[in-house]
Amino acid sequence: MISRRFVQCDVFTSVPTKGNGLAVVIDGEGLSDEAMQGFAAWTNLAETTFLMSPTATEADYKVRIFTPAREMLFAGHPTLGSCAAWLRSGGRPKIQGVVKQECGVGIVDIDLSGPIPAFAAPKTTVVPLPDDKLKAIMSALGLTPDRILRTAQLSNGPVWQVIELATAADVLAVDSAKIRYPQFLGVGLIGAHAAGSECDYEVRMLGASSGMSEDPITGSLNAAIARWKYGSGEWQRPITVAQGTCIGRSGRVSIRYDSAAETVWIGGQTCFLIEGTLSL
């Protein structure tokens, strides 16, 4: 057993306990795959991350991301939370104002120049949502065609089955208990709030592999949706998304598009709740 620095933080919120919890093992070197997976299962959080030295010369650190059941190539709130933990533990980026994180999808940039840290959304593949998957989701959730505006299957590491509903109220009315992993995985819902609301859209992610009824706040889903929406020209201005409302969270995702660099930035705040060491 080795004493390792450890933090638990809350991502995509300014209010502690109202975001998406993340465990970060800052000294992740030397742990086996089995040990990392076992510890992630023990924390029982949506994700647990392990920081280690990078293998890519341009990267500042490497992160491996685990749910209680499996390793993930990329995830949003673990990206922002891991970066915040690395900086808090004394990490200094090679390039001022930009952290370069190595993970399963390659190098992900995290912009520190603005008021809220933001990661560059990975490239996203957009294809039609297969009819059989759409029909299965509609049947399970009791959705009717007149409340569905658009659908797509998005992939940015994880694969998302996304349905845009007519309004945020439609999204909030869905019963998440009707969608369960592993029969369903990565079902994303989005709907617009009324003009003048605090947030532009409401998002929910059902069928979470963590076993929760739904994921509190899902950075990678929001990143994929943003790539889809900006890519189609539907979104052209900065967007604020709310997530976690139905399970008592106050998640806020800040999204903007840099047209010159063709980069979508996904921003959110991180609160630290627990700091110390663990024996692992």
Per-residue pLDDT tens digits for 127-141: 999 999 999 999 999
Residue 33 parent element (H or E): helix 33-43
This prediction's pTM: 0.95
Q: Are the CB atoms for 176 and 204 separated by under 8 Å?
A: yes
Residues 166, 142, 162, 18, CA torsion sign: positive
Cα torsion 247, 248, 250, 252 to 10°: value is 0
| Dihedral over alpha carbons 243, 247, 249, 252 (to 10 degrees) | 0
| pLDDT at 214 (0 to 100) | 92
Taking the C-alpha atoms of residue 270 and residue 76, their distance in angstroms, rounded to an integer, is 12
Structure confidence by residue, pLDDT tens digits, 167-193: 999 999 999 999 988 889 899 999 999
- The pLDDT confidence band at residue 213, using thresholds 50, 70 and 90, is confident
82-122 tens-digit pLDDT: 999 999 999 999 999 999 999 999 999 999 999 999 999 99
Query: Considering the chain, what percentage of its residues have pLDDT values greater than 90?
Result: 93
To the nearest 10°, the Cα dihedral for 164, 123, 71, 222?
A: -30
* Residue appearing with tokens 């994921």: 215
Confidence of residue 228 (pLDDT cuts 50, 70, 90): very high
Structure tokens at 105: 């999808």
pLDDT for residue 1: 86
Calculate what percentage of the chain has a pLDDT beyond 70.
100
Q: Which two tokens stand for residue 70?
A: 């499996």
The predicted structure's pLDDT at residue 180: 87
Read off the pLDDT of residues 144-160 as tens digits, 9 standing for 90 and up: 999 999 999 999 988 99
What confidence tens digit (pLDDT) does each residue in 50-83 have? 999 999 999 999 999 999 989 999 999 999 999 9
What integer is the mean pLDDT of 238-254?
98
